[in-house]
Amino acid sequence: MKSQVVRMLWWGCATLSLLVGLLHTPATIQAAPRCFGETGQCIDGQIRTFWERQGGIAVFGFPIAVATTTNVDGHTVVAQRFERQRIEYHANNPAPYDILLGRVGADTLAAQGRDWQAFPQSGILPNCRYFAATNQSVCGAILQRWLTTGIEFDGKPGFSDPERLALNGIPLSGLVNEILDDGRQYQVQWFERTRIELHPENRAPYHILNGLLGSASGASNQSTAPIATANQPIPTATAPAIFVPNPTTNTTIPVSAVAATVIRVVDGDTIHVLLDNNDITIRMIGIDTPETVDPRKPVQCFGKEASNHARQLLNGATVYLEIDSSQGDYDKYNRLLSYVWLADGRMFNQVMIADGYAFEYTYNRPYKYQAQFKDAQRNAQIQQLGLWSPATCNGVHGVVGTTAATATAVPIIIGGGGSGSGGSSTIDAASAPCLVGQIKGNRRSMIYHVPDGAFYAKTYANVACFDSESAAIAAGYRRSKR
């Protein structure tokens, strides 16, 4: 009964003829064998033609088994397993429906004795793609992956929803935490035909991967594996658990850091400390938190939460201040620019970014810890922590209020920006058309503007976006005087 339900959901979510109809070379043309020393396996015929046209190793991985004849739904098919998928050749089906992809996501869950219907249902979430068939939403980085991958069969640029579904299928779970084969815990989302995994330890684009389900023990050459009962418990090894990010790679307070006592927390990035019996205002280097006290601006999304988090960590605490000569001593408001180290060896600036309470912020020039701050932000963004959560601000900088309903008033733009950017993947009114925190260069005047510059928000046409001033200067731009 459960296998019938799965099929009904799949067939009912879209027109099947579009989802699984895949272009390939006509049956009269047979591709010669192609063998791989990595696995000692070969591919040929329609399966080879399809594999090569639809992405090859990057999409399906290497072949890991010989092509075998098997029975699927009462029909004889030739199926071959690859690292990430199973490709089936249905000789009795008319082209282009004779090449189908296996449902390895559903099959793997079934082989593990797990019922996909037992996953918590996320329901409709803001700024996400909702699938009524399973009452699940796909969000954030995984949504970006889903939108940018698919099987090409309509001859048009990019991927349509039917093409995306043909490769990935509909979601069977929401975002869950699971321990994978390497013994480490990751955030993943299960789909009918794949499992999309977040690997924050990897550099882009390898921080989002499709699981090796073709090589999983449950991914046999059986397309209609039964689904376990709803009461089947999830194995302990794969039960969800809370993912706790490592907030900082530093554990030693620099010798040059000076001890001070926090006497007041203004907001998430500004505090007052007692240093040599003087009340000194500190502005954190490399971070920017939503506004709560600026009289010129309303309280911004997640601003109160960021301030409260800062108070919990800093109120009355002894901290250690580290100056960065590359940033100067004071900002234009006469606040001392500093990294703030906690007594336990963590750097507060980075903790705020890693926990999702602050954006990485490069004001003028690259600073000492810029790379690791950007890595911390990338991890928080991938894990949808704090202000990156679809239930709060969804990563939109400058949104007023603290609810997702308010955040949805600002359009979320997936992707864009310069390559290698560690900043936000969203755009607000001031930063458009660049990403939040990026520098804008006017292509006509060859003048660049930093985020706090007088003409930054007014520069929105003929714009080049840069991650740092040094990059803008290297491109031939000079800094605006205002």
A 10 A CB-CB count for 343 gives: 11
Find the mean pLDDT for residues 116-140: 87
- Which tokens sit at 444? 């006509």
**Residues 402, 307: Cα–Cα separation, whole Å:** 13
Q: Is the peptide bond before 96 cis (omega within 30 degrees of 0)?
A: yes
pLDDT-derived band at 64, boundaries 50, 70, 90: very high
pLDDT of residue 350: 93
- For residue 94, being part of any structural domain is answered with yes
- Angle among Cα 375, 405, 378 to the nearest 5 degrees reads 5
pLDDT of residue 280: 94
pLDDT-derived band at 292, boundaries 50, 70, 90: confident
**Residues 439, 466: Cα–Cα separation, whole Å:** 5
Task: Tell me: pLDDT of 2 over 70.
Answer: no
| Burial zone of 112 (CB within 10 Å; 0-12 exposed, 13-18 middle, 19+ buried) | middle
pLDDT of residue 236: 27
pLDDT of residue 241: 26
Among the listed residues 83, 88, 291, 469, the single catalytic one is 291
pLDDT-derived band at 351, boundaries 50, 70, 90: very high
pLDDT of residue 291: 81
> Which percentage of the chain shows pLDDT scores above 70?
77
174 neighbors 139 (Cβ within 8 angstroms):
no
- For residue 206, being part of any structural domain is answered with yes
- For residue 89, being part of any structural domain is answered with yes
- Which tokens sit at 326? 């590359």
Instruction: Looking at the structure, tell me whether residues 154 and 285 fall in a common domain.
Output: no
pLDDT digits over 66-95, tens only?
999 887 667 788 999 999 999 988 888 877
**Residues 273, 280: Cα–Cα separation, whole Å:** 5
How many domains does the chain contain in total? 2
pLDDT digits over 207-219, tens only?
888 999 887 644 4
Instruction: Looking at the structure, tell me whether residues 209 and 275 fall in a common domain.
Output: no
Among 349, 371, 404, where does a domain finish? 404
Task: Tell me: pLDDT of 300 over 70.
Answer: yes
Annotation marks residue 335 as catalytic: yes
pLDDT of residue 42: 93
Task: Tell me: pLDDT of 20 over 60.
Answer: no
A 10 A CB-CB count for 45 gives: 19
Instruction: Looking at the structure, tell me whether residues 146 and 184 fall in a common domain.
Output: yes
Q: Higher-confidence residue: 435 or 163?
A: 163
pLDDT digits over 42-61, tens only?
999 889 989 988 888 888 98
β-strands 278-284, 336-341 pairing: parallel
- For residue 463, being part of any structural domain is answered with no
Instruction: Looking at the structure, tell me whether residues 143 and 197 fall in a common domain.
Output: yes
109 neighbors 188 (Cβ within 8 angstroms):
no
pLDDT of residue 66: 93
Instruction: Looking at the structure, tell me whether residues 168 and 87 fall in a common domain.
Output: yes
pLDDT digits over 421-475, tens only?
333 344 455 677 777 777 888 877 888 888 878 888 888 777 788 777 777 777 7
pLDDT of residue 336: 94
Any idea what the CATH number is for the domain that residue 371 is in? 2.40.50.90
A 10 A CB-CB count for 323 gives: 18
pLDDT of residue 341: 93
Instruction: Looking at the structure, tell me whether residues 209 and 61 fall in a common domain.
Output: yes
Instruction: Looking at the structure, tell me whether residues 165 and 294 fall in a common domain.
Output: no
Q: Higher-confidence residue: 392 or 270?
A: 270
Report the predicted TM-score, pTM, of the whole model to 2 decimal places.
0.44
pLDDT of residue 70: 81
Instruction: Looking at the structure, tell me whether residues 161 and 203 fall in a common domain.
Output: yes
Instruction: Looking at the structure, tell me whether residues 52 and 108 fall in a common domain.
Output: yes
Q: Rounded to whole angstroms, what are the CA distances from 330 to 109, 280, 336, 369, 480?
A: 56, 11, 5, 18, 20
Give the dihedral sign, CA 19/25/30/34.
negative
Closest CA to 115 of 19, 5, 242: 5
pLDDT-derived band at 96, boundaries 50, 70, 90: low
DSSP state of 347: B
* H helix and E strand count, the chain: 12, 23
β-strands 447-449, 439-442 pairing: antiparallel
**Residues 72, 102: Cα–Cα separation, whole Å:** 10
Q: Which residue do the tokens 């007014």 mark? A: 458
**Residues 246, 368: Cα–Cα separation, whole Å:** 19
Q: Higher-confidence residue: 11 or 252?
A: 252
Instruction: Looking at the structure, tell me whether residues 233 and 296 fall in a common domain.
Output: no
| Burial zone of 137 (CB within 10 Å; 0-12 exposed, 13-18 middle, 19+ buried) | buried
* E strand segments, 111-152: 129-131, 136-138
Among the listed residues 84, 86, 145, 283, the single catalytic one is 283
Among the listed residues 81, 84, 145, 335, the single catalytic one is 335
Instruction: Looking at the structure, tell me whether residues 269 and 214 fall in a common domain.
Output: no
- Which tokens sit at 118? 């037992």
The angle that helices 370-383 and 140-147 make with each other, rounded to 10 degrees, is 80
Instruction: Looking at the structure, tell me whether residues 203 and 266 fall in a common domain.
Output: no
- For residue 414, being part of any structural domain is answered with no
- At 222, the amino acid letter reads Q
State the DSSP string of 403-462: SHHHHTTSPP--S-SSTT--S-S---TTTTTSPTT-EEEETTTTEEE-TTSTTTTT--SS
| Burial zone of 2 (CB within 10 Å; 0-12 exposed, 13-18 middle, 19+ buried) | middle
pLDDT-derived band at 147, boundaries 50, 70, 90: confident
pLDDT-derived band at 398, boundaries 50, 70, 90: low
**Residues 412, 143: Cα–Cα separation, whole Å:** 12
Task: Tell me: pLDDT of 221 over 60.
Answer: no
pLDDT of residue 160: 83
Annotation marks residue 443 as catalytic: no
- The runs of H, that is alpha helices, within 14-126 are 16-19, 45-53, 57-60, 104-111
Among 404, 436, 469, where does a domain finish? 404
Among 185, 210, 238, where does a domain finish? 238
**Residues 261, 257: Cα–Cα separation, whole Å:** 13
pLDDT-derived band at 14, boundaries 50, 70, 90: very low
- For residue 96, being part of any structural domain is answered with yes
Closest CA to 139 of 155, 122, 118, 156: 122
- The runs of H, that is alpha helices, within 284-360 are 303-314, 348-354
Annotation marks residue 346 as catalytic: no
> Which residue segment(s) compose the domain that 355 sits in?
258-404
3-class state of residue 34 by DSSP: strand
- For residue 313, being part of any structural domain is answered with yes
Find the mean pLDDT for residues 310-314: 92
- For residue 141, being part of any structural domain is answered with yes
pLDDT digits over 315-346, tens only?
999 999 999 999 989 998 899 999 999 988 88
Q: Report the DSSP beta bridge partners of residue 259.
A: 320
pLDDT digits over 377-395, tens only?
888 887 788 888 878 887 7
Q: Higher-confidence residue: 5 or 241?
A: 5
Q: Which residue do the tokens 């459960």 mark? A: 2
Residue-averaged pLDDT of the chain: 76
